[in-house]
């Protein structure tokens, strides 16, 4: 190697999972060998980059990324990168070729101190063959590891990971250097788990349980109890005496719970109690329970907004006469000292105006027929249009599901974090879009298969009567839940009240017999029966 100036180099080290002479090739062993090679060959090591405990099958290694970025910088800081062997840089052929291309384009030579590839064309071919072999070795090692883990689970041993609260691990068997572990009950923690399930079984909610535990100074291995970890405990089937090991198969695919390997462990609660608690929790879910349990009591909460000149604030409830009367007032004027001139209006008065207007201007038979003309139109042209709309909706649903899967892959590949606000925002946006598209697909599919015998003007009129009755229900929160299905906004000024909303919910209700807002109110399916019988 002949140069006119000293060779400047970076040293890259990665913790090796390979063994040479039965000894792991540690970071320190690599460092010593690289430094010895550099000293003998007149190479000056400018900086060392070491990644310990990272896979070579991807570039999700902080020091590796920093090394590549610095080595390819415009100021050309080094002439070469030294490594113990090529597998330290990459165990993926694609990644190897990508990174070597970047480095070589920047004029940086890659030197493996333990592998001699010669010079010229043979050197390039030798490195390419080695990169492919390194990748195959990594894949084979991963397959063998997964096989070993699955067999370990089949024999009833614990494969590692977070240990459920209430348990600890112990060495059940030793095979050579391999310690095989199982779960054992920790009595003190198990008593807390039993108490949590007992409370949940008696109908106590998560927040009550959290407060009771924290007030009694119990802790989750030093941490305070929260709604999240209580929910995790109540959903963990390991407490029934069986958990499922979901080690991936040879293709790297994690099995569904039905295909996972059941592993026995000591039970802390009975299966019957676990199932009762699961059923209770499902019934208390706000998406499945009655609105008067999950929502507030004000009819126009979240709907009423100020319509005064230049004001778009929401209307909030204020009380007068010692709390005997409630008024809708402009939030900007009430809480921010704004100068909005919109006068307060009694809650009962505005609620009555809105409900009366909905009954007269939306739910009246003639008006409903106008709003739902598309549902009643059974012409051939309309049928063709619905078929085209259905094709478009299904394609849109596929695109949305694909977008969501791509976001999840970014999380699985650790490129994004589920706590990343960008991820959360995009996922929420896609979920809302998927729900909307799926609801519309349900409506169009029903419209395509049903005829005039089932969705006619009489059905529409009956639907209006039933919905009007719901808006007059004695339970104010039930009324609010139904109103919010098809009213998006109520804008109030001193001389005008405007009510706006989409017709999609009305169309879905009269077509499918259930509202389009997920979870509202599927506890009450008797409100609109459209299925005819012969």
pLDDT of residue 193: 95
CATH code for the domain in which residue 243 is found: 3.90.1750.20
Share of the chain above pLDDT 70, in %: 77
d(CA 46, CA 27): 18
Asked if 142 and 136 count as a contact pair (C-beta separation under 8 A), the reply is no
pLDDT of residue 454: 52
- Cα angle 387-502-284, degrees, rounded to a multiple of 5: 95
pLDDT of residue 416: 76
pLDDT of residue 534: 29
User: Does 498 lie in the same domain as 367?
Assistant: yes
pLDDT of residue 31: 92
pLDDT of residue 210: 92
Residues 9-34 have pLDDT tens digits of: 999 999 854 443 334 467 888 999 99
pLDDT of residue 529: 31
What is the average pLDDT across 79-86?
93
Residues 292-327 have pLDDT tens digits of: 334 445 677 778 888 887 787 888 777 766 656 788
User: Does 320 lie in the same domain as 422?
Assistant: yes
Residues 401-421 have pLDDT tens digits of: 888 888 888 877 777 777 777
Residue ending a domain, choose from 103, 127, 142: 142
User: Does 42 lie in the same domain as 103?
Assistant: yes
Host H or E run for residue 88: helix 86-89
Instruction: Please report whether residue 147 resides in a domain.
Output: no
Cβ neighbours for 327, distance < 8 A, ≥ 6 positions apart: 317, 318, 319, 320, 344, 345, 346, 347
Instruction: Please report whether residue 432 resides in a domain.
Output: yes
Reply yes or no on whether the pLDDT at 373 is more than 80.
no
Domain that holds residue 391: 304-512
Reply yes or no on whether the pLDDT at 209 is more than 80.
yes
Instruction: Please report whether residue 172 resides in a domain.
Output: yes
Host H or E run for residue 81: strand 80-83
List the alpha helices (DSSP H) in 163-321. Answer: 187-201, 206-215, 227-234, 271-284, 291-294
Higher pLDDT residue, 477 or 209?
Answer: 209
**What is the distance, to the nearest Å, from the Cα of residue 534 to the centroid of all Cα atoms in its chain?**
45
Instruction: Please report whether residue 265 resides in a domain.
Output: yes
Among 137, 16, 149, residue whose Cα is nearest residue 88: 16
pLDDT of residue 453: 43
Question: Dihedrals φ, ψ of 193, to 5°?
Answer: -60, -45
User: Does 310 lie in the same domain as 274?
Assistant: no
Bridge partners (DSSP) of residue 305 are 314, 491
pLDDT of residue 203: 73
User: Does 364 lie in the same domain as 493?
Assistant: yes
User: Does 311 lie in the same domain as 196?
Assistant: no
Length of the chain: 534
Reply yes or no on whether the pLDDT at 93 is more than 90.
no
The pair of structure tokens assigned to 286 is 């706000």
For the chain, the domain total comes to 3
CB neighbours of residue 488 within 10 Å: 12
pLDDT of residue 504: 62
Residue ending a domain, choose from 108, 142, 176: 142
Cβ neighbours for 438, distance < 8 A, ≥ 6 positions apart: 397
Instruction: Please report whether residue 430 resides in a domain.
Output: yes
d(CA 44, CA 79): 10
Residue ending a domain, choose from 230, 256, 284: 284
Q: What mean pLDDT is reported for the chain?
A: 78
Local confidence band at 53 (pLDDT 50, 70, 90 cut-offs): confident
User: Does 266 lie in the same domain as 310?
Assistant: no
What is the average pLDDT across 463-467?
73
Reply yes or no on whether the pLDDT at 166 is more than 70.
yes
d(CA 88, CA 138): 12
User: Does 199 lie in the same domain as 63?
Assistant: no
Asked if 268 and 194 count as a contact pair (C-beta separation under 8 A), the reply is yes
Of 69-78, 333-342, 517-526, give the lowest mean pLDDT range: 517-526
Burial 129-139 (b: 16+ CB within 10 A, else e): ebbeebbeebe
Share of the chain above pLDDT 90, in %: 22
Residues 502-533 have pLDDT tens digits of: 766 566 655 555 443 333 333 333 333 333 33
Instruction: Please report whether residue 519 resides in a domain.
Output: no
DSSP, collapsed to helix, strand or coil, labels residue 44 as strand
Instruction: Please report whether residue 93 resides in a domain.
Output: yes
pLDDT of residue 33: 92
d(CA 528, CA 230): 38
User: Does 172 lie in the same domain as 126?
Assistant: no
Bridge partners (DSSP) of residue 24 are 19
Dihedral angle at the C-alpha atoms of 466, 471, 474, 480, nearest 10 degrees? 130
Reply yes or no on whether the pLDDT at 468 is more than 80.
no
User: Does 397 lie in the same domain as 268?
Assistant: no
Instruction: Please report whether residue 523 resides in a domain.
Output: no
Dihedral angle at the C-alpha atoms of 115, 120, 124, 126, nearest 10 degrees? -50
d(CA 306, CA 311): 6
What is the average pLDDT across 178-200?
92
What is the average pLDDT across 370-399?
73
User: Does 11 lie in the same domain as 130?
Assistant: yes
Asked if 513 and 525 count as a contact pair (C-beta separation under 8 A), the reply is yes
User: Does 357 lie in the same domain as 272?
Assistant: no
pLDDT of residue 26: 79
């Amino acid at each position: 190697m002949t140069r006119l100036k000293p060779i400047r180099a970076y040293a890259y080290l990665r913790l090796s999972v390979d063994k040479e002479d039965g000894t792991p090739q540690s970071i320190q062993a690599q460092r010593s060998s690289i430094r010895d090679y550099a000293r003998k060959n007149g190479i000056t090591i400018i900086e060392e980059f070491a990644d310990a405990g990272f896979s070579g099958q991807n570039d999700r290694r902080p020091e590796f990324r920093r090394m590549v970025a610095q080595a390819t910088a415009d100021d050309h800081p080094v002439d070469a990168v030294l490594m113990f062997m090529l597998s330290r840089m990459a165990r993926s052929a694609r990644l190897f070729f990508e990174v070597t291309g970047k480095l070589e384009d920047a004029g940086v030579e890659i030197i493996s101190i333990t592998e001699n590839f010669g010079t010229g064309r043979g050197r390039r071919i030798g490195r390419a063959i080695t990169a492919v072999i390194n990748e195959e070795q990594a894949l084979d090692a991963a397959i063998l590891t997964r096989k070993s883990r699955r067999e370990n689970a089949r024999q009833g041993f614990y494969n590692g990971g977070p240990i459920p609260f209430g348990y600890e691990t112990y060495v059940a068997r030793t095979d050579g250097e391999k310690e095989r572990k199982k779960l054992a009950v920790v009595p003190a923690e198990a008593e807390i788990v039993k108490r949590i399930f007992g409370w949940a079984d008696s109908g106590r909610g998560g927040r009550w349980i959290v407060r009771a535990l924290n007030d009694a100074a119990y802790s989750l291995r030093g941490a305070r109890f929260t709604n999240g970890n209580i929910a995790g405990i109540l959903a963990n089937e390991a407490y029934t005496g069986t958990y499922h090991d979901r080690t991936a198969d040879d293709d790297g695919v994690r099995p569904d719970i039905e295909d996972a390997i059941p592993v026995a462990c000591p039970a802390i609660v009975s299966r019957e109690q676990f199932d009762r608690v699961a059923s209770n929790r499902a019934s208390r879910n706000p998406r499945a329970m009655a609105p008067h349990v999950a929502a507030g009591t004000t009819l126009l909460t979240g709907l009423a907004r100020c319509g005064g000149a230049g004001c778009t604030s929401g209307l909030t409830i204020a009380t007068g006469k010692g709390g005997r009367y409630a008024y809708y007032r402009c939030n900007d004027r009430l809480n921010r000292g704004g100068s909005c001139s919109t006068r307060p209006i009694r809650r009962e008065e505005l609620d009555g105006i809105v409900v009366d207007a909905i009954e007269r201007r939306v739910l009246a038979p003639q008006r409903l027929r106008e709003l739902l003309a598309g549902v009643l139109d059974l012409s051939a042209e309309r049928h063709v249009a619905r078929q085209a709309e259905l094709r478009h909706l299904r394609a849109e649903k596929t695109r949305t599901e694909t977008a969501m899967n791509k976001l999840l892959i970014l999380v699985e590949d650790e490129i994004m974090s589920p706590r990343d606000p960008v991820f959360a925002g995009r996922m929420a946006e896609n979920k809302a879009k998927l729900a909307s598209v799926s609801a519309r697909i349900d409506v169009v599919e029903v419209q395509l298969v049903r005829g005039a015998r089932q969705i006619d003007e009489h059905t529409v009129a009956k639907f209006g009567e039933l919905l009007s009755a719901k808006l007059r229900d004695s339970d104010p929160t039930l009324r609010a839940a139904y109103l919010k299905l098809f009213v998006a906004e109520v804008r109030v000024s001193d001389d005008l009240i405007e009510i706006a909303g989409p017709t999609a919910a009305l169309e879905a209700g009269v077509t499918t017999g259930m509202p389009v807002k997920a979870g509202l109110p599927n506890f009450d399916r008797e409100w609109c029966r459209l299925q005819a019988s012969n």
